[in-house]
């Protein structure tokens, strides 16, 4: 489906695109950090967002912080692989397509983290994408993690749980499901998928 030879005759193979989805509190950020540490050449897509930076966030590293007007221009210019409205349209977030395509053409593995709708949109745009769902060990474990967040209001937790139910029900849509019962093991599985079946997988330790 990917790792196809470059048609210009350079002998370079096209990178492998992995689209990662998982419910809130499943541990996506921790697993992604492990993967990036194990694979220095991986391109992890940085989303564009219209929300304000939070304390400690760095533009270009955590997100590309843009104005609503600039986001409109990105949509009009077809510069986003996928995008979505958040919190009833108060904010918008999306995946810039140019760096993703550039990394793929350079033969780099690419990791994109999006929500369920975003994953469907990425696959519609780039059918070679391999979709991965990061699942909790159990529903009860996910509920425990979410309710244990001191920063979340009960209403916010309930919204996240409702979204998680929808996401969990859609697992069969994905090419692979990784259960995050142990972070290093989950990261190792994701590394193997990024590397692809034709090459030896790196260790994620």
Is 29 part of any known ligand binding site?
yes
Predicted pLDDT at 156:
86
28 is in an annotated binding site: yes
Residue 22 known to bind ligand: yes
At residue 153, the pLDDT reads 86
Contacts of 187 (CB under 8 A, 6+ apart): 31, 34, 35, 38, 204
Q: At which residue do the structure tokens 């989303």 appear?
A: 47
Closest CA to 33 of 143, 111, 101, 87: 111
Q: What is the C-alpha end-to-end distance of the chain, expressed in Å?
A: 28
- Tens digit of pLDDT per residue, the chain (205 long)? 333 333 344 456 899 999 999 999 999 999 999 999 999 999 999 999 999 999 999 999 999 999 999 999 999 999 999 999 987 778 999 999 999 999 999 999 999 999 999 999 999 999 999 999 999 999 999 999 988 877 778 888 998 999 999 999 999 999 999 999 999 999 999 999 999 865 434 433 3
Q: Answer yes or no: is 179 a known binding residue.
A: no
Judge whether 21 is annotated as a binding position: no
For residue 75, how many other CB atoms are within 10 A of its CB?
13
């Amino acid at each position: 489906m990917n790792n196809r030879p470059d048609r210009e005759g350079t002998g370079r193979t096209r990178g492998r695109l992995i689209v990662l989805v998982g419910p809130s509190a499943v541990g996506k950020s921790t697993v992604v950090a492990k993967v990036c540490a194990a694979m220095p050449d991986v391109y992890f897509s940085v989303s564009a967002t219209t929300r304000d930076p939070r304390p400690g966030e760095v533009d270009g590293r955590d997100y590309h912080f843009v104005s609503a007007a600039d986001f409109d221009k990105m949509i009009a210019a077809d510069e986003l692989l996928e995008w979505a409205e958040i919190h009833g349209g108060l904010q918008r977030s999306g995946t810039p397509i140019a760096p993703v395509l550039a990394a793929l053409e350079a033969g780099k593995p690419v990791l994109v983290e999006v929500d369920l709708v975003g994953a469907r949109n990425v696959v519609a745009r780039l059918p070679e994408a391999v979709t991965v769902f990061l699942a909790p060990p159990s529903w009860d474990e996910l509920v425990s993690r979410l309710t244990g967040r001191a920063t979340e209001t009960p209403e916010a937790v309930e919204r996240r749980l409702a979204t998680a139910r929808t996401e969990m029900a859609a697992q069969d849509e994905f090419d692979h499901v990784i259960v995050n019962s142990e972070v290093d093991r989950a990261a190792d599985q994701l590394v193997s998928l990024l590397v692809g079946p034709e090459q030896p997988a790196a260790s994620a330790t």
